[in-house]
Structure 1
């Protein structure tokens, strides 16, 4: 056993003892260790180990009861950490640190340090950034390099940290939203070795006093709806638009910029792949980008000329900083670090708790989990909530069993956090994207129809009564029927229209922004008035 395994060697040599703080486990599974009363007994065992160690216990995973190195697969180890996290929560403790080593059989053995008390508070600053850009313009590669500190090999190696689905890796395209996080402590970056490892991501949340989360969206035209969902459905603080220096702005670039600016999101433009072009081409693309920004009424601010401080002070709905980068050479990455370390968190909404559901899944032994971004307020484990509206317009009563942020168990989450909430009282099959979680005492009114002011960004002809695009509002993606005032809207027009969801009601409120699209037609809008169910003018 080599010197770097001293922690593992010491834990094994210490051994399991009655009244000791060390516990050996070959593996932990949801099916075996969270069912039929096992969870309570194992949590009690964990609590005993923590108290025996004066507030700290050591769990060695991937070893036999006698301490022999067994080794388990990466998936089995990940599941074991999930189960251990749940047991720790049940025992009023938390996982503080995890170290792993490879075995001769290509398996894993690890040492988890558990400490007394709940997870850390989550009131520190947490900036959420939505990225957009044309396919192959380096969004995922850039984010992968930022969160790991690793340079790309020119073939998209750091992009692989975000393309987690097998078909995405094979095609080199991202087909859904990816989430990544890194942070800063005392001004220095806190990064991950591998964002796929839950303990790496949880470690960043534990160690950093400032977090930066990325909602890395897709750029390929068939998946533009997913980009819109990412930009409209999240509680974003800033936007980041990537434009490749070898390609320059494209039609998709202009569409993504239109969505970012139409939602009044302060945006940063990052020129990527500068290593692939000479200085003359780089200057040409820079001028083209600056013209594009001026054409839409925005002022470009080249960071190389004006500095990081100016970018941080000036970025808003009208001023757009521009940074040149290369994930291969590392150019501009330190500049982005400096910007993200100092960008102020936008105003937190302290109103009533609200979370629009982006996705849901089921965890054996835990149950249904709803994931999304907290739009306003605060939620705590144990809170009694409403979930809905269901298809019939009603709301189900549920309880927040536990809350997780980037695979890190927390006691509470506030506005702007991307979280997963384990829900008691509902099946995962009954949870749909576009539903909302609210406090139990709320009196929500589901909406089938609303009035809106819209702007047509692109349309081949005119928009008339009966036009049926897909409306993207918060995490809602639903077909709707437009009835414009005056009977029509032309490309470039701004006007008012009645919007009616075709199939079911949702929770919609005045002032919410949305995007609509159908084929090549795209536009943005703002809700100006709502008609709760039972007051629909068409009924």
Structure 2
């Protein structure tokens, strides 16, 4: 990945690198990252499905097969599982790290792991299937590009999962609602994958009667396809892959037990996933999945970059509180990054921030580029999917949007609309029922960050939960945001310029002129300090920044109602090539000369801005 901003002045200015663990920060690792980026695309895959369908076993076995875990570790898990009389759990324990999960035999939290296919670098997210932990499943799914839906093929197991209250149905609906448009279905022993959708895996095919039954596979594919079509997926683009999560049939290589199946293996289905588009040109939005305290390092928030870019040295603002601080370092899978792009699941170290100051659901953003703010209220288009009665004004369910799970109040049902055309059917209806769609004004009961779907899709779609099930889905059309009062700005952020010189009337003079008269510009570090602080002045002053061989900062100062425009341009030279450069400073016709390593100009005028 390329450094941006000041990358072109490395010949004269030096940067400090920070580490979270044993991170690779050498120039060699930078080139390796760049090469990796050129060779393979990074995607996030979530594994979903009904409780006990074989999600963790399938995922753990796949990671093991692809070299993501050592054979000795699997042997240790096998021994521990046998001691607990749970021999079949050896692969699941690759992911189920928590003691409570091992004892209960179910996944409680989401687990992240990585492996590599021929085409992709994959981060795999194992989501819990138990209804008690649906919030964690939603958090994991909201970060995914593709879903692998594991379908229990055993008699009774499949029927329970696909029933009205089954997690197979609800997980598929939530995946589509949360923006996971590609799917693969796996049927143990079965599995399926969809381009721009998720692979579906009918699992435990070795547990069907008879074993590896084609008729059972056909029956499941027909019923699941019908439901996925209702949800919004195109079943024709979803591979249904029969597998055995424990034995490994059809996962990496074709199985002779399934010679009747002519489709792709699970690994091949993953390589058929379409590359998702990455909105790196948008402002940064990074919903937090968790926050950790790491000894000797400090506070490390973790989450997926949804839009924009995050990199070391950036000043970030966390919505909805407005807390502002500096990013010290960014890492993914224990490797330091020069920058993280949309789709990357990263941890980043922040300065002077306690773990208690950040929570799951907060959103990191660039403090200089449309920083995230809390929502006072928002208007959404809502479709009622599965509610036993009627929904009226005052209804207060839980809203799941990105990694945030907050109760919201249906303050006012504005209109009932046609769910297909969007045309208004009725104004101010008294209620909405199953199948109805409407425009609803919502008010969160606690501070939360949401965005319009048109601007930031991952933060503009949501699911509504009540009575332990998904009752509605929707997208956000408009947001009334509120500015945080008394937001904390850390010392690190202040030094970076987030609030720099706001209260000094003549800060430009004090920054440049008083120092000029005291001593010539012979100190490169001092010059770098001036330029950095100038660039990082808050957006209320900075009008625009143009970066090139010469960078130009255009900013304004308002004093006693009069707006003054300033331009600051600098051209950098290598110490070796230009040992002495001529320094010029222009202000209201005053010319001063100094020996320096840089050529710099400051131009002041009150009307048309010109650079000489």
Please indicate the TM-score interval, normalised by the length of the shorter structure. Answer: 0.5 to 0.7
Which of 391, 394, 408 aligns to 1:463? It is: 391
Distance verdict in 2 for CA 1:509–1:143, change over 3 Å:
same
Deviation at 1:171, TM superposition (A): 0.7
TM-score, with structure 1 as normaliser: 0.67
Q: Which residue does the alignment assign to 2:173?
A: 258
Corresponding residue of 1:475 = 403
Asked if 1:169 is matched to 2:96, the reply is no
Displacement, 1:503? Answer: 2.0
Q: Residues 116 and 122 of structure 2 are in contact (CA less than 8 Å); yes or no, is this contact kept in structure 1?
A: yes
**1:406 alignment partner in structure 2:** 333
Aligned to 1:450: 378
Pick closer, same or farther for the CA change 1:487–1:131 going to 2, 3 Å: farther
Contact 2:378 2:443 in 1 (8 A): yes
1:181–1:213 CA contact under 8 A, matched in 2 = yes
Compare CA radii of gyration and give the structure with the larger one: 2
Shift, 1:356, TM fit:
0.9
Other-structure match for 2:365: 438
Deviation string 1:364-386 (CA, Å, 9 cap, x unpaired) is 22111010000112222222222
Matches of 1:297 and 1:529, distance apart in 2: 24
Q: CA RMSD in A?
A: 2.6
1:224 corresponds to 2:134: yes
Q: Does structure 2 conserve the Cα–Cα contact (< 8 Å) formed by 1:469 and 1:516?
A: yes
Deviation at 1:397, TM superposition (A): 2.1
- State the 1:434 CA deviation: 1.4
Q: How far apart are the structure 1 equivalents of 2:481 and 2:113?
A: 37
Pair 1:119–1:478, CA change in 2 (3 A): farther
Q: How many residues align?
A: 385
Of residues 140, 144, 148, the one that matches 1:240 is: 148
Cα distance in 2, alignment partners of residues 127 and 479 from structure 1: 31
User: Which residue among 348, 351, 357 is the counterpart of 1:424?
Assistant: 351
Structure 2 residue aligned with 1:518: 466
- The structural deviation recorded for 1:285 is 2.6
Query: Deviation of residue 119 (structure 1)?
Result: 6.8
- Call closer, same or farther: CA 1:523–1:252 in 2, change over 3 Å: same
Which of 36, 56, 61 aligns to 1:140? It is 56
- Deviates further, 144-153 or 236-245: 144-153
Aligned partners of 2:20 and 2:329 also within 8 Å: no
User: Which of these residues, 410, 418, 430, is aligned with residue 487 of structure 1?
Assistant: 430
Counterpart contact for 1:383–1:399, Cα < 8 Å = yes
Query: Would you say the 8 A contact 2:283–2:370 is kept in 1?
Result: no
User: What SS does the corresponding residue of 1:140 show, helix, strand or coil?
Assistant: helix
Which residue does the alignment assign to 2:277?
347
Q: 1:298 offset after TM fit, Å?
A: 4.3
Moved over 6 A (4+): 115-119, 150-154
> How far off is 1:521 after superposition?
5.1
Structure 2 length-normalised TM:
0.59
CA contact (8 A) 1:130 1:231 kept: yes
One of 213, 223, 228 as aligned partner of 1:293: 228
2:268 is matched with 338
Provide the secondary structure at the position in 1 that maps to 2:365. strand
How far apart, in 2, do the equivalents of 1:473 and 1:116 lie?
36
Change (3 A) 1:297 1:534: closer
Is 1:181 paired with 2:114?
Answer: yes
CA 1:284 to 1:272, structure 2 compared with 1: closer, same or farther past 3 Å?
A: same
CA shift for structure 1 position 413: 1.1
Q: Is the 8 A contact 2:327 2:349 kept in 1?
A: yes
State the distance in 1 between where 2:404 and 2:21 align. Answer: 35
- Looking at structure 1, the residues matched to 232 and 340 of structure 2 have their Cα atoms a distance apart, in angstroms, of 37
Change (3 A) 1:460 1:358: same
Question: CA 1:84–1:466 in structure 2 vs 1: closer, same or farther (change >3 Å)?
Answer: closer
Who is 1:103 aligned against? none
